[in-house]
C-alpha cells in the first residue's frame, strides 16, 4: 500500500458524482503459510472497514459541527439564515438527511438536559449554549453520528485493490471503494425479481473464463454491466482444499460457492440497511450503545444479517469456477467460484 494515499475524495465523472474511499490493512499469515489466502481475504475485509470507519469519522465531525452551529443559531434569529446557507454549502444531500435526523436527536437531549437542570431557555441563553456544546461535542453523540454515517454508506463496492507482497514477509493490502447515488437504486432493482429491468450504457461481456489477476482482484460483491447494458451483481470467493483428494476438492468448491452466495446476500442486506429511513427510536438504539466499538459492530452486523436473510434474492447462478494460485506462493493450490 502506498504511503500518504488520500483517504477519501468526491469526483464528478460525466453526469455522476462518485465518492472514493481508500482503506488499508495487513495480512496476518505469511505468504508461505497454507492459510495465506484466507488471511488475505480477511485483510481485505479489514481494509474495507478501515476506509468506511475513517470516512464516517470525518463526515460525522463535519455534520456535528453543523448541528451545533445550527442549534446555537436558532437561539439568535439573526443567524438562522446564514446557518442554513453554510449548511447547504458544507453538506451534500445525503449528509443533510443525516443532519436532520441527528439534529432532532440532539434537540431531544438538550430539552431533557435543560429540564433536568432547571434552565430557562428564554432568560438563560448562555447556559443553554453551554448545554448545546456539551451534548453536540460529547464523544457519545459523535460516535452516534459516525455509526449512522457508516450505515448510510453500507454496500459500497471495491473498485480497485493493491497488495505489496513478498515471500517470508508480511503483506499489506489496500482498497479503493466507490459509491454513486445511483448505486443503491440499481442494486435494489436487480435484487428484486419483480422490478422493471434496469439498463445502462453497454459494457463488456461477463467472461466465462477469468485470469488469475482478475480473480484475485475481485473482492466481495460488485455490480457489473454487460454488453447489453444489463446490470449484474457478481461475487468471487476462494477456498483452499485441506488435502489433495477429490473429496477435499469438492468440499472446497462448495465452501467457495457458499461464500460467494454469502457475499451477494450480505451486499443485498447492506444495501437495504443503508436505504432504511431510520426514525428517532432507531437512532436512539445506536446512541444507547455508547462508545463500545464491539457492541456497535455487532449491532450493525446483526441488522445487515437480518436484512440479508429477509431479502428474496433471485437468479444467483454459477458463472465460473476452477483452480487458482497466488503468484507469491504457487505451492498453495486453491479454488475459486464466481456467481
Q: What is the DSSP letter of 1?
A: -
Model's pTM, two decimal places?
0.75
- Cα–chain center distance at 224: 18
- Structure confidence by residue, pLDDT tens digits, 6-55: 677 877 777 777 888 899 999 998 888 888 888 998 899 889 888 888 88
Q: Look at 315 and 209; give whichever has higher pLDDT.
A: 209
- Structure confidence by residue, pLDDT tens digits, 157-189: 888 899 998 777 789 999 998 887 666 666 666
The pLDDT value recorded for residue 215 is 93
Residue with cell 447494458: 229
The pLDDT value recorded for residue 50 is 86
CB contact at 8 A, 231 and 223 = yes
Secondary structure (3-state) at 329: strand
Q: Of 211-215, 229-233, 260-264, which one has max mean pLDDT?
A: 211-215
Secondary structure (3-state) at 267: helix
CB contact at 8 A, 37 and 332 = yes
Q: Look at 195 and 57; give whichever has higher pLDDT.
A: 57
Q: Phi and psi for 207 in degrees, rounded to 5?
A: -70, 150
CB contact at 8 A, 251 and 283 = no
Q: Is the dihedral of CA 99, 101, 102, 107 positive or negative?
A: positive
pLDDT of 195 strictly over 60: no
Nearest to 91 by CA among 67, 113, 109: 67
The pLDDT value recorded for residue 337 is 94
Name the pLDDT band for 282 (thresholds 50, 70, 90): low
pLDDT of 207 strictly over 70: yes
pLDDT of 300 strictly over 90: no
How far is residue 137's CA from residue 109's CA, in Å, rounded to a whole number? 13
Name the pLDDT band for 63 (thresholds 50, 70, 90): confident
pLDDT of 68 strictly over 70: yes
Name the pLDDT band for 80 (thresholds 50, 70, 90): low
Q: What is the DSSP letter of 198?
A: P
Percent of the chain with pLDDT over 90: 21
Amino acid at each position: 500500500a502506498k504511503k500518504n494515499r488520500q483517504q477519501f475524495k468526491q469526483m464528478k465523472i460525466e453526469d455522476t458524482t462518485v465518492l472514493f474511499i481508500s482503506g488499508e490493512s495487513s495480512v496476518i499469515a505469511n505468504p508461505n503459510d497454507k492459510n495465506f489466502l484466507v488471511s488475505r481475504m480477511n485483510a481485505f475485509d479489514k481494509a474495507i472497514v478501515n476506509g468506511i470507519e475513517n470516512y464516517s469519522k470525518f463526515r460525522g465531525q463535519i455534520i456535528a459541527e453543523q448541528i451545533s452551529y445550527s442549534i446555537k443559531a436558532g437561539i439568535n434569529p439573526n443567524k438562522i439564515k446564514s446557518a442554513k446557507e453554510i449548511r447547504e454549502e458544507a453538506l451534500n444531500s445525503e449528509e443533510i438527511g443525516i443532519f436532520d435526523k441527528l439534529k432532532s436527536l440532539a434537540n431531544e437531549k438538550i430539552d431533557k438536559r435543560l429540564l433536568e437542570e432547571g434552565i430557562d431557555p428564554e432568560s438563560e441563553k448562555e447556559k443553554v449554549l453551554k448545554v448545546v456544546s456539551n451534548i453536540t461535542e460529547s464523544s457519545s453523540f459523535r460516535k452516534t453520528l459516525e455509526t449512522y454515517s457508516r450505515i448510510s454508506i453500507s454496500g459500497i463496492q471495491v473498485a480497485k485493490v493493491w497488495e505489496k507482497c513478498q515471500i517470508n514477509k508480511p503483506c499489506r493490502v489496500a482498497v479503493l471503494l466507490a459509491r454513486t447515488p445511483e448505486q443503491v437504486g440499481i442494486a435494489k432493482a436487480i435484487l428484486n425479481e419483480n422490478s422493471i429491468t434496469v439498463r445502462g450504457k453497454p459494457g463488456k461481456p461477463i467472461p466465462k473464463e477469468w485470469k488469475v489477476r482478475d480473480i484475485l482482484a475481485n473482492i466481495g460483491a460488485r455490480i457489473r454491466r454487460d454488453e447489453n447494458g444489463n446490470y449484474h451483481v457478481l461475487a468471487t470467493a476462494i477456498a483452499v482444499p485441506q488435502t489433495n483428494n477429490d473429496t477435499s476438492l469438492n468440499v472446497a468448491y462448495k465452501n467457495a460457492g457458499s461464500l460467494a452466495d454469502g457475499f451477494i446476500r450480505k451486499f443485498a442486506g447492506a444495501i437495504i440497511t443503508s436505504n432504511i429511513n431510520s426514525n428517532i427510536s432507531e437512532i436512539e438504539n445506536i446512541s444507547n450503545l455508547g462508545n463500545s466499538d464491539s457492541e456497535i459492530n455487532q449491532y450493525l452486523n446483526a441488522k445487515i444479517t437480518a436484512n440479508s436473510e429477509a431479502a428474496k434474492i433471485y437468479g444467483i447462478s454459477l458463472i465460473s469456477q476452477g483452480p487458482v494460485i497466488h503468484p507469491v506462493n504457487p505451492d498453495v493450490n486453491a479454488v475459486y467460484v464466481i456467481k
